[in-house]
Amino acid sequence: MNINILRFDSLSSTNDKAAAQARRGAAEGVVILSRSQTSGRGRHGRAWISESDAGLYFSIVLRPQVDTASLPLITLMAGVAACDCLLEFGAKADIKWVNDLLIREKKICGILAEAVDTPAGLAVVLGIGVNLRRTAVSDENAEFATSLEHETGKTVSPDEFAECLTRYLGYLYAELNEEPGRILHEWQLRSTYFSGKDVRVRTSDREFTGVTDGLEQNGALRVKLSDNSIVIVQAGDVERLRTPERF
Whole-prediction pTM: 0.92
Task: Measure Cα distances from 105 to 14, 42, 54, 60 in Å.
Answer: 26, 18, 20, 27
Contact criterion met (CB below 8 Å) for 31 and 4: yes
pLDDT of residue 247: 44
Domain residue extents for the chain: 4-190, 195-240
Q: What is the pLDDT of residue 44?
A: 47
Query: DSSP string covering 205-227, please?
Result: S-EEEEEEEEE-TTSPEEEE-TT
d(CA 130, CA 179): 27
Burial of 93 (0-12, 13-18, 19+ CB in 10 A): buried
> Given this model, what pLDDT does residue 52 score?
81
Mean per-residue pLDDT, 160-185: 96
Give the model confidence (pLDDT) of 113-143 as tens digits. Answer: 999 999 999 999 999 999 999 999 988 889 9
The rounded distance, in Å, linking the Cα atoms of 165 and 227 is 42
The architecture that CATH gives domain 195-240 is: Roll (2.30)
Dump pLDDT digits (tens) for 200-209. 999 988 999 9
The pLDDT assigned to 41 comes to: 56
| DSSP run (H or E) holding 109 | strand 106-118
| Cα–Cα dist 216/218, whole Å | 5
Q: Where are the alpha helices (DSSP H) in 60-129?
A: 73-88
210-224 tens-digit pLDDT: 999 999 999 999 999
Mean pLDDT, rounded, for 55-82: 95
| CATH superfamily, domain at 4-190 | Bira Bifunctional Protein; Domain 2 (3.30.930.10)
